[in-house]
A and B are shown apart, each in its own frame.
Chain A
């Protein structure tokens, strides 16, 4: 029905040209975004020689898994992976709990002082102490070189707190609160037993946002961590991808220098894929939640 109607309203020739132009713009966008990604995926599945010779475009040449084998032989990458999973899990847990704890009282119109506290939160979006006072604080608290340095400093993202608050405000009806009060329900009980089950959607959204942030977090680790065994994946990636510092001993096979160089080139491609894979795998299933988050955010707090 809708289709027929649409076709009948835009029928003139100039409209058709317009639609063609729009379609081609989108096609160009698609190609521009897709080609670098395909190139990296294809390279990661090619042989070291093909990659080093620059023979790979968007389809693997001399299909091989040497790159991936090299990645998984690298102990640093494996320990980085394990650390990142740890930080992502516990970090996200702390984030979600803290965000809900902050957002719920601020969503209540009868909460005395909520404007002031909201202002305290939003002000930190506008102004911050800067890197060095933050570093000195962490030093004074004795958190440098501990796992806490990855979990505590960003326990609440104000943006996520505001969208959660907005969600509570718009979806939890006041009548529900009044009714449960009459039944003798306390605020804490109400939050745990009534609000949380009704807010699965927003919890999903912020969980995903926070988890991706933790997975990708680089800078906190870079300034707060010195011990290699605490390094998250992103820090290891930086050493290998950007600083080009690969520990030669990590390649167990004694290979020729040339081949080693080729393998280094290849390894980078495989590493990019291995590092991004978890996020890319869950992405198709959770895309709608991410988008929902932006939508709720756009309602504005």
Chain B
């Protein structure tokens, strides 16, 4: 009984819906036209490679192309997990990324808090100007600077060691020094720039909060601890999530450029290894390289999703 009554109404509803979306299209076809080119770009340059990632499960041969090559299942991954270098490379990757995230986290916050506290406008502007500048140095030049500055013969580092009467060790070729050089040069380059976002969060703090606290007898330091720091916490958490999500993509270019024969035992990471296997001279094993790259992307994705999940549980701040 009821269905008999419902049926035409339902039909009318779907009809109405269809009509509505048709209307929608008629009404805004120009918007679709506008976005057509970006969509084609997105599909060709971003989604086709995602589809092409299937060669990680194949044995790629140039004559058969991506589609025609033979499926080999998890063969490439087994190869990777059984290779003697794999665990070294995996641990290098994690150590470097975790060290990088942890060391990078507090510096911009401290810088922003300090800049927010300082009273001289001129001083503040000068520090900002200078510390933002290195952000725009290209990776190649940055690595060039590292090589020059840490050159034990002619660089600043060599001179400083000489000044203190110490022997300048070659840090560029030292596996033990590699993570520190990598991470701290990154902080040197980006801490200033990364502080901008915290400064923005701090500028939204109402000055009346500070005034009220001071009337209640708080010192400026207490204001910072109890007003400024809570104000930037949500931003800090979101950034921490995003950085964790970028963990495996970490400075691929910079690591590749900083590598040399002497420090390779500490500086080989998954992404550079994938590149070398797949593309560099003596490589050319596309399938194996793609499998290593895919492993990298998957770890990255899982990390981002889980960190976001944890953040949402404990702090109500998350990316989505």
Contact with B along A120-133 (1 / 0, CB 8 A): 11001011111111
Pick the contact of B296 from A30, A35, A130, A136 — CB < 8 Å?
Answer: A130
Tell me whether A111 and B31 are in contact (CB under 8 A).
yes
Contact with B along A174-191 (1 / 0, CB 8 A): 000000000000111001
Inter-chain CA distance A234–B139, complex, in Å, is: 9
Most B CB contacts (10 A, CB to CB) among A32, A186, A298 go to A298
Contact with A along B196-208 (1 / 0, CB 8 A): 1100110000000
Whether, in the assembled complex, A37 has its beta carbon less than 8 Å from a beta carbon of chain B, the answer is yes
Binds B, one of A49-57, A62-70, A197-205, A246-254: A49-57
Contact with B along A206-224 (1 / 0, CB 8 A): 0000001001101100010
User: With A18-B221, A19-B220, A104-B34 known to touch, is A132 a contact of B139 (CB < 8 Å)?
Assistant: no
Tell me whether B45 and A276 are in contact (CB under 8 A).
no
Taking CB atoms and an 8 Å cut-off, the chain A residues in 120-150 that contact chain B are: 120-121, 124, 126-137, 140-141
Pick the contact of B118 from A14, A22, A102 — CB < 8 Å?
Answer: A22
Interface size of A in residues (CB-CB distance below 8 Å):
95
User: With A127-B50, A218-B139, A294-B197 known to touch, is A33 a contact of B35 (CB < 8 Å)?
Assistant: no
Tell me whether B137 and A276 are in contact (CB under 8 A).
yes
Taking CB atoms and an 8 Å cut-off, the chain A residues in 221-253 that contact chain B are: 223, 234, 237-238, 241-242
Taking CB atoms and an 8 Å cut-off, the chain B residues in 101-155 that contact chain A are: 110-111, 114-115, 117-119, 123, 126-127, 129-134, 136-141, 143-145, 147-149, 153-155
Contact with B along A90-118 (1 / 0, CB 8 A): 00000000110110111010111000010
Tell me whether A108 and B31 are in contact (CB under 8 A).
yes
**Chain B residue with minimal CB distance to A15?**
B220
Taking CB atoms and an 8 Å cut-off, the chain A residues in 3-58 that contact chain B are: 6, 9-10, 12, 14-15, 18-19, 22-23, 25-26, 29-30, 32-37, 39-40, 43, 51-54, 57
**Chain B residue with minimal CB distance to A141?**
B44
User: With A33-B130, A121-B42 known to touch, is A276 a contact of B138 (CB < 8 Å)?
Assistant: yes
Whether, in the assembled complex, B275 has its beta carbon less than 8 Å from a beta carbon of chain A, the answer is yes
Inter-chain CA distance A32–B144, complex, in Å, is: 18
Tell me whether B140 and A54 are in contact (CB under 8 A).
no
Pick the contact of A33 from B27, B131, B200, B289 — CB < 8 Å?
Answer: B131
Chain B residues, CB < 8 A from A276: 136-138, 141
Whether, in the assembled complex, A291 has its beta carbon less than 8 Å from a beta carbon of chain B, the answer is yes
Whether, in the assembled complex, A295 has its beta carbon less than 8 Å from a beta carbon of chain B, the answer is yes
Taking CB atoms and an 8 Å cut-off, the chain B residues in 166-198 that contact chain A are: 188, 191-193, 196-197
Contact with B along A159-172 (1 / 0, CB 8 A): 00000000000000
Q: Name B's interface SS.
A: helix
Tell me whether A105 and B35 are in contact (CB under 8 A).
yes
Tell me whether B24 and A112 are in contact (CB under 8 A).
yes
Tell me whether B294 and A130 are in contact (CB under 8 A).
yes
Tell me whether A241 and B293 are in contact (CB under 8 A).
no
Chain A residues, CB < 8 A from B148: 40, 43, 268-269, 272
Whether, in the assembled complex, A72 has its beta carbon less than 8 Å from a beta carbon of chain B, the answer is no
Most A CB contacts (10 A, CB to CB) among B34, B47, B130, B296 go to B34
Inter-chain CA distance A34–B192, complex, in Å, is: 12
Pick the contact of A18 from B134, B211, B220, B274 — CB < 8 Å?
Answer: B220
Most A CB contacts (10 A, CB to CB) among B140, B188, B271 go to B140
**Nearest Cβ distance between residue B237 and chain A, in whole angstroms?**
13
Pick the contact of A298 from B28, B139, B200 — CB < 8 Å?
Answer: B200
User: With A26-B123, A112-B21 known to touch, is A242 a contact of B140 (CB < 8 Å)?
Assistant: yes
Tell me whether A29 and B158 are in contact (CB under 8 A).
no
Tell me whether A272 and B144 are in contact (CB under 8 A).
yes
Contact with A along B24-49 (1 / 0, CB 8 A): 11011011111101110110111111
Whether, in the assembled complex, B68 has its beta carbon less than 8 Å from a beta carbon of chain A, the answer is no
Tell me whether B110 and A35 are in contact (CB under 8 A).
no
6 intermolecular pairs with C-beta atoms under 8 Å apart: A25-B114, A117-B39, A129-B51, A129-B53, A216-B136, A272-B145
